[in-house]
């Protein structure tokens, strides 16, 4: 499609970056019309997701005119053809078909292709309005019976305003990954600015230039992210398995509200939450698995005999978190002990527990949004000692005096303990987590107040840092240089004294993980960015930790995966 075929009416939206199809470079563009002219009608690239042994979901967004910007509701229905082949030249096309992209779904398109071969690389593309999209590469999952290792890239927390997507670029260039696991905060709802007196600093700003509260807002925000070259390249290189966390709607979301939602000025919570979730499901390559619940996102995928993967929804059914001193930080331990408090709801808990118990895979893997491992302030008296005081007092002293953070699983102790008790009878459970903007490797104690003496672990957890969202320590350093370093020292000291199950952590840099599941062990490698606000910053291997099958322990790995 040429420039002359597009109306040239300027829109109010700014668009600064669009992916150049050929070499993955970035074109600096002054306006939305120029972005459309550079890539129309497939301005937002292509993507694939939710791989099965015989199927894959293909995705694209069609822009039929300049007026048909994301969130506009404008533009005609567009007939789109798709094809999927065994080779990049499309001489071995295995399936093809057609579909319609309409304004009702923001001109996004999902095609659920079946009848494919397991553990096979495929290439796909779309055609519409006389133009052909860039070619995407995807891969189906291994079939039951396969013992081949499975390797994932793991990411979360990509605030466009707060940094650059260097980890996406790094993962897009890898050729050894079977899928990307995105554990939430794919987009952020915030207006330009920061959360600590104007910090973190904003090297760029996403459209729209205000907080997202409506369906149109969220669609515009997703459209802006999808113009980022590194994100486009990541989607074109690997299938993605994604879930939402809170920022796809509003900070610290729970079932009836959010920390960052004021009904008096921002309207009905349910309307806003539905809008954010609808836009997410439109703009991500996700398979819809429940005809009776279009918002259901918790699902299970299998990768041969190595991995059963449960992607959890820890926002939609969550009860209100306990009160804290500041944005989830610091709370009395007793505030987290409500037996009726729930992170995932009763139905999802039953689905997860029964699924874990029935799984025959080597590794049972949870795609988990927020940290699961305990984080307490101040050491506890070991339970083996408090037992001498009698059962009633010993039970009371199981509660930590102070919790470091209660917006994660530490605010829902009863439900977490039920899951921990279930994991105790199941081998090789691994929890993969995002949200916290830091890197961790931790064991999951059977009982936190007894771990110091019995060292009993039921599972392990590996936490990926933010893609572009800085840690609390980094933000504090921006406000008061050096104070973030002091805070990090305090937190590390508390971890050593009060949280001995934490086996490794890094508190400053953005990045990603690569995690491989093999028959004898799982290994996590962290790759961290030197400077998150520099689009050309190097990203380097920082650490590797492993869990050998049957051990439920985190140990150092000799070297990064090759």
Domain end residue (candidates: 81, 115, 140)? 140
Domain boundary among 140, 157, 173: 140
Average pLDDT over residues 138-147: 98
- Which residues does residue 308 pair with via DSSP β-bridges, in sequence order? 302, 364
> What confidence category does residue 325 fall into, taking pLDDT thresholds of 50, 70 and 90?
confident
Number of domains in the chain: 2
Q: Quickly count: other Cβ atoms within 10 Å of residue 378's Cβ.
A: 12
Same domain, 347 and 450: yes
C-alpha closest to that of 499 among 549, 554, 545, 550: 554
170 and 95, same structural domain? no
Shared domain check, 377 and 242 = yes
Q: Report yes or no on 562 lying in a domain.
A: no
Classify strands 502-506 and 363-368 as parallel, antiparallel or unpaired. Answer: unpaired
Identify whether 561 is part of a domain.
no
What's the pLDDT score for residue 203? 94
Give, in order, the Cα–Cα distances in Å from 455 to each of 116, 372, 448: 46, 17, 9
- 546 and 413 together in one domain: yes
Instruction: Please say if the pLDDT value at position 31 is more than 80.
Output: no
Q: What is the pLDDT of residue 5?
A: 29
- Return all residues near 411 (Cβ < 8 A) that are at least 6 apart: 321, 322, 328, 331, 335, 336, 341, 343, 403, 405
What per-residue confidence (pLDDT) applies to 395? Answer: 85
- Considering the domain architecture, whether residues 351 and 328 belong to the same structural domain is answered as yes
Share above pLDDT 70 across residues of the chain, in percent, rounded to a whole number: 94
Confidence band of 72 (pLDDT split at 50, 70, 90): very high
- pTM score: 0.93
Question: Regarding predicted confidence, which is higher, 197 or 114?
Answer: 114
- Yes or no: say if 124 and 84 are a contact pair by the CB < 8 Å rule: yes
Assess if residue 60 is contained within a domain.
yes
DSSP element (H, E) containing 383:
helix 383-386
Instruction: Answer whether residue 180 is part of any domain.
Output: yes
Contact criterion met (CB below 8 Å) for 344 and 355:
no
* Residue 400 CA: distances (Å) to CA of 162, 385, 481: 34, 15, 32
Query: Do residues 76 and 147 both lie within one domain?
Result: no
Per-residue confidence band for 18, with pLDDT thresholds at 50, 70 and 90:
very low
User: Is 327 inside any structural domain?
Assistant: yes
Reported as a single tens digit per residue, the pLDDT across 329-363 is 777 776 787 899 999 999 999 999 999 999 999 99
pLDDT digits over 240-296, tens only? 999 999 999 999 999 999 999 999 999 999 999 999 999 999 999 999 989 999 999
- Asked if residue 483 belongs to a domain, the reply is yes
Which CA distances in Å does 416 have to 58, 371, 550? 35, 11, 22
| pLDDT score recorded for residue 397 | 84
pLDDT above 70: residue 8 = no
Is residue 265 situated within a structural domain?
Answer: yes
Report percent pLDDT > 90 for the chain: 84
Q: Give the mean pLDDT of the chain.
A: 92
- Chain Cα centroid distance, residue 153: 11
DSSP string, 393-451: HHHHTTS-SEEEE-SSGGG-HHHHHHHHHHHTTSS-EEEEE-SSSSEEEEEEESSGGGH
| Statement to judge: residues 147 and 105 lie in one domain | no
DSSP sequence for 1-48: --GGGS--PPPS----EEE-TTTS-EEE-SSHHHHHHHHTT-TT-EEE
- Domain extent at residue 122: 1-140
Q: Exposed, middle or buried by CB within 10 Å (0-12, 13-18, 19+), for 172?
A: buried
Residues 425 and 290 in one domain: yes
| Residues listed for the chain | 562
Sheet architecture: strand order including 307-311: 299-303, 307-311, 363-368, 429-433, 457-463, 439-445, 502-506
> Cis omega before residue 208 (within 30°)?
yes
Write down the pLDDT at residue 267. 96
Same domain, residue pair 169 and 72? no
pLDDT tens column, 429-455 = 999 999 999 999 999 999 999 999 999
> What CATH code is carried by the domain that includes residue 219?
3.60.21.70
- The CATH number assigned to the domain holding 115 equals 2.60.40.380
Question: What secondary structure letter does DSSP report for 334?
Answer: G
Query: With bands split at pLDDT 50, 70 and 90, how would you rate the model's confidence at 47?
Result: very high
Q: Which of 113, 140, 167 is the last residue of a domain?
A: 140
pLDDT exceeds 50 at position 371? yes
486 neighbors 479 (Cβ within 8 angstroms): no
- Residues 156 and 154: their CA atoms lie apart, in Å, by 7
Q: Is residue 349 located within the same domain as residue 475?
A: yes
At 14 the pLDDT is: 35
Q: Is the domain of 18 the same as that of 129?
A: yes
**103 and 175, same domain (yes or no):** no
Domain membership of residue 392 (yes or no) is yes
């Amino acid at each position: 499609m040429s420039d002359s075929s597009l109306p040239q009416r300027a829109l109010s939206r700014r668009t600064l970056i669009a992916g150049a199809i050929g070499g993955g470079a970035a074109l600096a563009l002054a306006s939305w019309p120029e972005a459309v002219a550079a890539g129309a009608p497939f301005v937002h690239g292509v993507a694939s997701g939710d791989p099965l042994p015989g199927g894959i979901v293909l995705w694209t967004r069609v822009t039929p005119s300049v007026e048909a910007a994301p969130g506009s509701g404008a533009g005609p229905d567009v007939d789109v053809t798709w094809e999927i082949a065994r080779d990049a030249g499309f001489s071995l096309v295995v399936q093809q078909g057609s579909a319609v992209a309409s304004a009702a779904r923001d001109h996004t398109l999902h095609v659920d292709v079946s009848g494919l071969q397991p553990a096979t690389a495929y290439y796909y593309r779309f055609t519409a309005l006389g133009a052909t999209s860039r070619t995407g590469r995807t891969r189906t999952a291994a079939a039951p019976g396969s013992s081949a290792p499975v390797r994932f890239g793991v990411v979360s927390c990509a605030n466009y305003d707060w940094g650059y997507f260097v980890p996406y670029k790094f993962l897009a260039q890898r050729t050894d990954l079977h899928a990307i696991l995105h554990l939430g905060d794919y987009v952020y709802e915030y207006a330009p600015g920061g959360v600590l007196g104007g910090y973190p600093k904003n090297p760029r700003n996403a459209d729209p230039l205000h907080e997202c509260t409506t369906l149109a807002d969220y669609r515009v925000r997703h459209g802006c992210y999808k113009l980022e070259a590194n994100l486009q390249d990541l989607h074109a290189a690997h299938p993605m398995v994604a879930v939402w966390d809170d920022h796809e709607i509003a900070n610290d979301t729970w079932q009836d509200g959010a920390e960052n939602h004021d009904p008096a000025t921002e309207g009905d919570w349910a309307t806003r939450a539905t809008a954010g979730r609808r836009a997410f499901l439109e703009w991500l390559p996700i398979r819809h698995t429940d005809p009776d619940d279009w918002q259901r996102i918790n699902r299970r995928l299998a990768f041969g005999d190595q991995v059963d993967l449960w992607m959890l929804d820890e926002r939609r059914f969550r009860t209100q978190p306990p009160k804290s001193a500041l944005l989830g930080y610091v709370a009395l331990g007793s505030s987290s002990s409500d037996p009726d408090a729930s992170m995932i709801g009763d139905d999802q808990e039953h689905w997860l527990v029964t699924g874990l118990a029935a799984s025959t895979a080597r590794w049972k893997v949870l795609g988990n949004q927020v940290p699961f491992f305990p984080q307490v302030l101040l050491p506890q008296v070991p339970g083996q000692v408090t037992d001498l005081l009698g059962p009633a007092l010993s039970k009371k002293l199981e509660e930590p005096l102070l919790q470091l953070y209660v917006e994660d699983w530490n605010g829902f102790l009863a439900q977490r303990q039920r899951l921990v008790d279930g994991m105790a009878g199941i081998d090789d459970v691994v929890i993969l987590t995002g949200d916290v903007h830091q890197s961790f490797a931790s064991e999951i104690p059977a009982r936190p107040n007894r771990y110091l003496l019995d060292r009993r672990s039921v599972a392990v957890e590996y936490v990926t840092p933010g893609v572009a969202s800085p840690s609390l320590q980094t933000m504090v350093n921006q406000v008061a240089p050096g104070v973030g370093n002091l805070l990090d020292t305090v937190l590390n000291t508390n971890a050593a004294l009060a949280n001995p199950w934490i086996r490794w952590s890094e508190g400053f840099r953005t990045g990603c993980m690569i995690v491989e599941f093999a028959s004898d062990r799982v290994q996590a490698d962290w790759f961290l960015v030197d400077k998150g606000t520099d689009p050309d910053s190097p990203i380097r291997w920082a650490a590797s930790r492993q869990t050998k099958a049957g051990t439920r322990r985190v140990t150092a790995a000799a070297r990064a995966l090759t």
